[in-house]
Amino acid sequence: MSVTSEYATEKVEAGERLTHEEGLALLETTEPDEIEQIRALADRVRAQKVGDIVHFASTLYIHPTNLCELNCPMCSFYAKPGWDKAWFLTPEQIEQKVRDNLDKGLTEIHVVGGLWRDCNLDYYEETFTRIKALDPNLHIKALTPVEYDFLAKMHDIPIEEVFRRMVRWGLGSLPGGGAEILVEEIRKKVAPGKITSDEYMAIHELAHHLGLRSNITMLFGHIETNEHIISHLMQVRNLQDKTGGFRAFIPLKFGEENNALGKRKKQLKQKNIHLVYAVSRLMLDNVPHLKVLWNYIGIPEAVEMLRWGGNDLSSTNTEEKIITMAGGAQILMDKETMTALIQKAGREPRLTHTGEM
Ligand code: SF4
C-alpha cells in the first residue's frame, strides 16, 4: 500500500507507530491536499497529547565565550583569539548579567558556548554557584553533549563525574544543541571535529540515567536529505523508548549567514519546513513537546508552526547570540509580546518553569 496521508491518518488514529519508510513518504509529500491532511493530523495529535497550552520560558542566554577549538562549517558563532568578534565572560561578568536581568522575571538561564579550556570545571563551579546564589529557583539549562565530552577529556574524568559535579553546583537540564544530523556521512561534513552521533546519544542516555532531562535538536535545511532527517528522528524515538528523558524536540532551520557551509549555495537542499515539523510530531510519538524557535524562522512562521504540531514557543530571548549571528531574527521578545502572539493564534499561553515540564 502506498503511504498516503489518509493511510497515515488511519494508522496514527489506530494508535500505531509510523515506520521509517512511512515517515519518509510523508516528508516527501508534494500534493497540497495531502500536505494539509498531514498538518491536520499533526495538529490533532498535538491537541490529544499536550492540549492547547503553548509553553514558553523567560530565558537569559549566557554564552561564556565564542572562542572555540573547532571551526565547524555550519557555525557562525565561533571565533579564534584575536578576532574582533571574540569574547570571553568571567564568572563575575556572568553574575552581573544575571543580576541586571533579574527584574525581567527570568525562569531559566541557558548556558552554551565554544569549546575553550578556560571554561573548565572550576569556571562552571564558580559560574553556577554565583547564579544560584542570586536566585536558587533559576533553572540552569546548560551545555551540549559536545561540551560535556570536552570537559571530561580536559579533566581526564568520566562524563558521569562531570554531570555529578555540575548537578551539585546547580545544573538542572540539558538544552539539546550539537545534534546537527545524527548520520555520520552528514555530520562529518557539517561538524567534522565533533563527537560521533553514537557518542552524542550516549551522553544524553547517561544524563537521563542520572535523572537529568534534556531536549534534543536537529539542524536541517543544509546538505541533508529527507532520508537523513527520518534517520535522525528514529534515533531520537529509539532512545526515548529506552529512557523517556527527552523533554522536547527542536527542529532548527539552518542559518546560512556568516558560515562556510552557507556559502556552498548549490549544495544546500531546501526543505518544506512545515512538513519537517508535522512529521517530527507524528514520528516522535513518545516526546511530549515540539519546540519552535521563532528566532530561527521568524515570528509569523513560528506562529504558523503551532498549527503543524508545535506546542512550545521556546522563550523570550534575552541576549541569544548563536542564532542571531547566523542571520536569525533580532527582536526584543518579552513576556507580553509572547503572550499576545500565542493568544492571537487561538492558543493558551503559559510561562513555564523548565523544571516543571
Ligand atoms: S558549533 Fe560549537 S563546536 Fe563547532 S565551531 Fe561552533 S561553537 Fe565550536
Best residue among 61, 78, 143, 150 to mutate for probing ligand 1, ranked by most atoms within 8 Å of CB: 78
Q: Which three cell numbers stand for residue 357?
A: 515540564
| 23 alpha carbon – ligand 1 mean position (Å) | 30
| 160 alpha carbon – ligand 1 mean position (Å) | 22
Which residue in the block uniquely carries the three cell numbers 527570568?
A: 106
pLDDT of residue 328: 67
pLDDT of residue 315: 84
User: SS3 of 219, please?
Assistant: strand
CA distance 31 to 81: 50
* pTM recorded for the entire structure: 0.95
pLDDT of residue 190: 96
Query: Tens of pLDDT along 123-169?
Result: 999 999 999 999 999 999 999 999 999 999 999 999 999 999 999 99
| 193 alpha carbon – ligand 1 mean position (Å) | 9
| 150 alpha carbon – ligand 1 mean position (Å) | 12
pLDDT of residue 111: 97
Give yes or no for a contact between 137 and 88, defined as CB atoms under 8 angstroms apart.
no
Domains within the chain, CATH numbers bracketed: 52-356 (3.20.20.70)
Ligand 1 site: residues with CB under 6 angstroms?
A: 68, 70-72, 75, 77-78, 114-115, 146, 191
User: SS3 of 116, please?
Assistant: coil
CA distance 115 to 112: 10
User: SS3 of 313, please?
Assistant: strand
| 261 alpha carbon – ligand 1 mean position (Å) | 13
pLDDT of residue 6: 86
CA distance 162 to 155: 9
pLDDT of residue 354: 72
- Give the chain's residues under pLDDT 50: 1
Residue nearest to atom 1 of ligand 1 (CA): 75
Cα 23-29-34 angle, rounded to 5 deg: 105
pLDDT of residue 1: 46
Q: Give the ligand 1 atom nearest the CA of 194.
A: 3
